[in-house]
Amino acid sequence: MASESITSTEYIKHHLQNLTFGKLPDGSLGLAQDPEQAKAMGFWAINLDTLGFAFLLGILFLFFFSRVAKRATDNVPGGAQNFIEWIIEFIDNSVRGSFSGRNAMVAPLALTIFIWIFLMNLMDLVPVDYLPVLAHSLGLPFLKVVPTTDPNATFGMSIAVFVLVVFYSIKVKGVGGFAGELALQPFSSNNLIIKTLFIPINLFLEGVNLIAKPVSLSLRLFGNMYAGEMIFILLAIMGGSWAAASVGGSSVLFGSQVLLSLGWAIFHILIITLQAFIFMTLTIVYLDMAHQEHH
């Protein structure tokens, strides 16, 4: 796309637009050819690139871990087995440190969340033009390769965590216990009349606190990854502008852009790992809160 004579604004919009499938203005189903068509498709539109890359990376994760598990040995382990065991030990220590209940599902869930989100975030290190240009040559109008820069993906994961939190809150505390937790905290009184007056206030405060969990999970991940993708795109535009404007010092300018991109990429490795870790840790903490009974 960089080779085409388009403005910087058009370049940015193109790279931030998903490959959207839905109902076209003529009533047929197909791919949106511009952002306006994608917006007009409404709620039932599907971002094919987000789903495709997310599922592909999930399958890659499962294939690699299952392959290593089948070949695991008690003798001298290979590099892949050492790496997997180190990750599992790291996740296990994180769960033991943050989760006080008893639930065999939490550790596998934490492992899945951490690795899956890390792999999706890692796509941000693929040069911004490579895959979109390849997709364009195949006739696809858009291709957004980082699933976590799509709020639909981050909200989908956070809503799944939210459903688990509500499910285990009701399972552990019962319907009455869960309702009491929402209606009788944080303000309470031994006086029945005052306690009754506190109920709507408590419901509002605890309801906001409950809804804020999936919202904060999704927006934190989306915001950080979207910002990182924007910086990579701006660096690509900067490099293209320098190359177009330079005559004799093109090698120096090119070297400067490479250093800038490399520096941001190295720093971004920390960001993508940290975001996966934060999402995993908050999931563990929220599930731990769901397993705690308040008397």
Question: Tens digits of per-residue pLDDT, 198-235?
Answer: 889 989 998 999 999 999 999 999 999 999 888 888 88
Tell me the C-alpha distance between 180 and 110, whole Å: 29
Q: Is 216 a catalytic residue?
A: yes
- Residue of 93, 216, 241, 250 with catalytic role: 216
Strands (E), the chain: 20-23, 29-31, 46-47
The CA distances from residue 192 to 172, 196, 199, 252, 276, in Å, are 26, 6, 11, 77, 46
pTM of the complete model beyond 0.75: yes
Question: Tens digits of per-residue pLDDT, 221-273?
Answer: 999 999 988 888 888 787 666 555 554 455 555 566 667 777 878 888 999 99
Question: Tens digits of per-residue pLDDT, 19-47?
Answer: 999 999 888 899 999 889 998 998 889 99
In the chain, where the domains are located: 8-291
Tell me the C-alpha distance between 148 and 70, whole Å: 30
Q: Is 220 a catalytic residue?
A: yes
- Residue of 103, 152, 220, 256 with catalytic role: 220
- In degrees, rounded to 5, the angle at the alpha carbon of residue 278 between the alpha carbons of residues 224 and 204 is 90
Residue 42 zone, left/alpha/beta (φ > 0; ψ -120 to 50; rest): left
Residue 93 pLDDT > 80 = yes
Residue 121 pLDDT > 80 = yes
Report the percent of the chain where pLDDT is more than 70: 91
Assign 3-state DSSP to the chain and report helix, strand, coil percentages, each to 5: 75, 5, 25
Residue 139 zone, left/alpha/beta (φ > 0; ψ -120 to 50; rest): left
Return the SS3 of 255: helix
- Residue of 18, 169, 202, 224 with catalytic role: 224
